[in-house]
Amino acid sequence: MCHLAGRTRARESLADPLGYFRTNATGTFLLLDAMAAAGVRHIVFASTGSVYGAPDRQPMTEDLPPAPPHPYAAGKLAAELALASFPAIILRMLNIAGGTDPDPTRLLPRALTAAGCGAPLTVNGDGSAVRDYLHIADAADAFAAAVDHLPAVERAVTYNVGSGVGSSVKDVVAAVERVTGRPVPLEYRPAAPEPAVSISDPSRAIADLGWSPRRSELEEIVRDAWSTQVRTLR
């Protein structure tokens, strides 16, 4: 069983905390009840690296204490705690990108749209915020590897799933300009109260699951997303 259902917009969760808890935490509790009734024991759960908050230690490892900074992360952590005694694999991911992204609020789709139509890309702060971007295909491979490893699991084990590489907003914009051959006009706004740096350390997943991020170089992610967006527009 793989559980990837949930609401994922951290800023939106600040305005709708109960809605996020109902979906991400209570929804998981109900799924566990249904699994028990059906005799299903093992589960791979899609969680988030944002449960770590904004630790000084980067890249972030699984032994960092949780410090969820918003209801989205807190709801995911509540679901993780419910899974603690289950034979479960918890995958903590950060920023999934590439391919067709259905969420237009994310940075890469917005930057590609700005390149495509010339409208300014709004940036919170000076563009120096650093994030870990993982190609959607690498994320899918992580779930497949976790499913293969699941029969050997007796109690919940947690893995970070990320590229292990940080890219700033300015890095993403520069990659979009290189790939598209078009400028990305920027409009700066005040900085948001968010971590300056958030990078995942996937060493444990690489060692235990036999998985590695093979397609998560930033330019490849951007190239794949751009080619998908161009095909869609046609």
Instruction: List residues with catalytic annotation.
Output: 72
Distance CA 111, CA 176 (A): 7
**How far is residue 204's CA from residue 166's CA, in Å, rounded to a whole number?**
18
- Show Cβ contacts of residue 207 under 8 Å, excluding neighbours closer than 6 positions: none
The answer to whether 205 and 159 are in contact (CB under 8 A) is yes
Total residues belonging to the chain: 234
CA angle 198, 89, 21 (to 5 degrees): 65
Radius of gyration in angstroms for the set of CA atoms belonging to the chain, rounded to a whole number: 18
